């Protein structure tokens, strides 16, 4: 199987460039097309974790202090934007695609408003990280998720530094998609840094 980048080099314009303003949807469309006849597949809004909070155990003392609704909560969890599976190895990487405003030329610092990038950090928390890692079959030191940032945030001098600090040496697990919807560099990042994590020998 050739790399995603090589298999689709120069072909993205045929289905992407006419609607550059709808860049967000092209993450899914680009990979869905690129994965044809490969071991990979992409799923939108995977339901793998939609109930993970339902059975979280609290102490009797804590239960007494919180509201208990008459109808029990039966659906409470998280839903990543996408999941990319290697069907052959049964490994998965969970993907968040975050589009956000940012401070760029001609603007002001307050243009970097929004906290989508902060909310994406929930997957770093010990509990969620353990749950995602178990389901994904991706073992340490790699992370079981990949965050792709779009929009002016990818060039904001403050937000880019924040995100780079948060991820530290886990550079494989975030990507600033500056030239969306052109997926060439996105595919290159996937081929070089994400796809190897989904291969059988990359789990240890």
* Per-residue pLDDT, 111: 83
* Per-residue pLDDT, 6: 64
* Per-residue pLDDT, 90: 97
- Give me the number of domains the chain comprises: 1
* Per-residue pLDDT, 30: 93
Tell me the residue range of the domain where 102 lies.
4-202
* Per-residue pLDDT, 23: 57
Asked whether the whole model's pTM tops 0.75, one would answer yes
Mean pLDDT by 10 residues, the chain (204 residues): 58 44 76 95 96 95 95 94 97 94 88 85 96 95 96 94 96 95 94 94 43
* Per-residue pLDDT, 22: 61
Neighbouring-strand partners of residue 147: 96, 174
3-state SS, the chain, equals CCCHHHHHCCCCHHHHHHHHHHHHHHHHHHHHHHCCCCCEEEEECCCCCCCCCCCCCCCHHHHHHCCCCCCCCCCCCCCCCEEEEECCCCEEEEEEEEECCCCCCCCCHHHHCCCHHHHHHHHHCHHHHHHHHHHHCCCCCCCCEEEEEECHHHHCHHHHHHHHHHHCCCHHHEEECCCCCCCHHHHHHHHHHHHHHHCHHHCC
* Per-residue pLDDT, 153: 93
* Per-residue pLDDT, 113: 82
48 closest CA partner among 97, 98, 96, 92: 92
What CATH number is given to the structural domain containing 113?
Answer: 3.40.580.10
Neighbouring-strand partners of residue 95: 82, 146
């Amino acid at each position: 199987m050739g790399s995603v980048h090589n298999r689709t080099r120069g072909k993205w314009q045929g289905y992407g460039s006419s609607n550059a303003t709808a860049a967000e949807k092209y993450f899914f469309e680009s990979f869905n097309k690129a994965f044809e006849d490969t071991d990979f597949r992409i799923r939108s809004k995977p339901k793998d974790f939609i109930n993970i909070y339902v059975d979280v155990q609290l102490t009797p003392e804590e239960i007494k202090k919180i509201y208990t609704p008459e109808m029990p909560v039966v659906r409470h969890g998280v839903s990543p934007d996408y999941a990319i599976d290697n069907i052959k190895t049964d490994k998965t990487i969970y993907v968040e695609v975050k589009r956000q405003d940012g401070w760029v030329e001609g603007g002001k610092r307050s243009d970097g408003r929004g906290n989508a990038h902060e909310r994406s950090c929930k997957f770093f928390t010990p509990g969620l990280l353990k749950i995602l890692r178990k389901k994904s079959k991706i073992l340490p030191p790699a992370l079981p998720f990949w965050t792709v940032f779009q929009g002016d945030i990818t060039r904001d001098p403050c937000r880019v530094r924040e995100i780079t600090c948060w991820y530290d040496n886990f550079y494989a697990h975030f990507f600033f998609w500056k030239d969306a919807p052109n997926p060439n560099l996105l595919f290159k990042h996937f081929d070089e840094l994400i796809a190897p994590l989904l291969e059988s020998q990359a789990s240890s």
